[in-house]
Amino acid sequence: MTCDVLILPGLFNSGPQHWQSLWHERHPQWRRAAHRDWTNPDRDEWVAEMEEAIAGCSGAPVLVAHSLACMLVAHWALSGSPLKVAGAFLVAPSDVERPSFPIPAGNWAPVPRTPLPFPSMIVASTNDPYASIERTQSFADAWGSKLVEIGDAGHVTTDAGYGDWPEGLRLLDAFCADISK
């Protein structure tokens, strides 16, 4: 891997067999953001916790976000933080404006529509229950992100068969190589 990584799990955290947890286990030098409350996420609190996690990195990390953490990245980008990140690898962003979002959206909505000030890639499923592929394409367009569709992959979770997910790690490695040119 050619870059430093900060893992950003989404709503309810990523369990021990989730690809984010397995990647972190394989790469213990990577950092993982912590949140006080994984079940009732307050956007402003999560943005502050993400800021603290980025500040704890030795350099500008690549953010590896899943689900609600993709929205976290977009909101953090709007926060005016002086901290820098090298890029964002965004997997299965949740549409917080969708009725099927599993908790009340609260201050997570509306979805930010401002270009991200760093390179980004969205990896998306064509049958994600938390965001249609059309909506995810609209996030990619608004954020200036490259979109990679991986077919019918649900929400790209352990339940959908994405434990270790070596293909995702290859995508991340290619993204890191791309942004370090």
Q: What is the CATH number of the domain that holds 151?
A: 3.40.50.1820
Domain that holds residue 63: 5-179
Q: What is the pTM of this model?
A: 0.97
C-alpha dihedral (86, 117, 12, 168), degrees to nearest 10: -50
* Contact (Cβ atoms closer than 8 angstroms) between residue 83 and residue 6: no
CB contact at 8 A, 10 and 75: no
Q: Which residues of the chain have pLDDT under 70?
A: 1-2
pLDDT of residue 48: 98
Number of domains in the chain: 1
Q: What is the pLDDT of residue 18?
A: 97
Judge residue 160's burial from the number of C-beta atoms within 10 Å of its C-beta, 0-12 exposed, 13-18 middle, 19 or more buried.
middle
The count of C-alpha atoms lying within 13 angstroms of the C-alpha of 100, restricted to the half-sphere facing its C-beta, is: 8
93 close to 30: Cβ distance less than 8 angstroms: no
